[in-house]
């Protein structure tokens, strides 16, 4: 099962390696990991997408909690939550493809943020599925580069991860 784990961690050098090292040392999967400081610069918020059985996810949260610099851990995928990922995708835009790319961007409510004679850079935000669908819709032969941020997640409504 796929899980989205959010955590607050001290914004100190080496904190990221403690988390990533834990995953590799214990053989857990990381599908994506994003991290950046929060409104309180002494703290970072991390979103980890992982897969595993219930037992493994339980161990992952326990092991993360055990890291001295980790302040709080929540599996936000246990209930209603929102996930977003940012993608910057550079595509070939010549001839008839140029109009087609523009149309595709409109359909997916993406934005073209850089234009040259031969290419567009398209910015698209959404959940993983939407981004995957866009990539599939364009087709590999027109894609020059794909850059994805990995997922950011937040619980809906009253569910707040805060110190």
Q: Which is nearer to another protein, 7 or 131 (CB)?
A: 7
CA distance 61 to 3: 11
Q: Which is nearer to another protein, 17 or 140 (CB)?
A: 17
Instruction: By CB under 8 A, name the binding residues for another protein.
Output: 9-10, 13-14, 17-18, 21, 25, 55, 58-59, 62-63, 65-66, 68-71, 163
CA distance 163 to 16: 19
Q: How far is the CB of 68 from another protein (least distance, A)?
A: 4
CA distance 93 to 88: 15
Q: How far is the CB of 81 from another protein (least distance, A)?
A: 23
Q: How far is the CB of 34 from another protein (least distance, A)?
A: 20
Q: How far is the CB of 5 from another protein (least distance, A)?
A: 15
Place of tokens 């939407």: 130
Distances (CA, A) of 149 to 33, 46, 48: 9, 12, 12
């Amino acid at each position: 099962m796929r899980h989205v784990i959010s955590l607050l961690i001290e914004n100190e050098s080496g904190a990221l390696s403690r988390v990533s090292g834990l995953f590799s040392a214990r053989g857990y999967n990381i599908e994506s990991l994003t991290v950046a400081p929060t409104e309180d610069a002494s703290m970072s918020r991390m979103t980890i997408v992982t897969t595993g059985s219930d037992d493994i996810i339980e161990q992952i949260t326990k092991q993360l909690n055990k890291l001295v610099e980790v302040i709080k851990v929540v599996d936000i995928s246990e209930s209603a939550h929102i996930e977003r990922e940012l993608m910057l995708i550079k595509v070939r835009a010549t001839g008839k493809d140029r109009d087609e790319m523009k149309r595709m961007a409109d359909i997916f409510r993406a934005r073209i943020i850089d234009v040259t004679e031969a290419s567009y850079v398209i910015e698209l935000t959404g959940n993983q599925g939407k981004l995957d669908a866009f990539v599939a819709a364009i087709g590999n032969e027109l894609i020059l580069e794909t850059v994805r941020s990995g997922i950011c997640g937040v619980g809906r409504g009253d569910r707040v991860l805060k110190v």
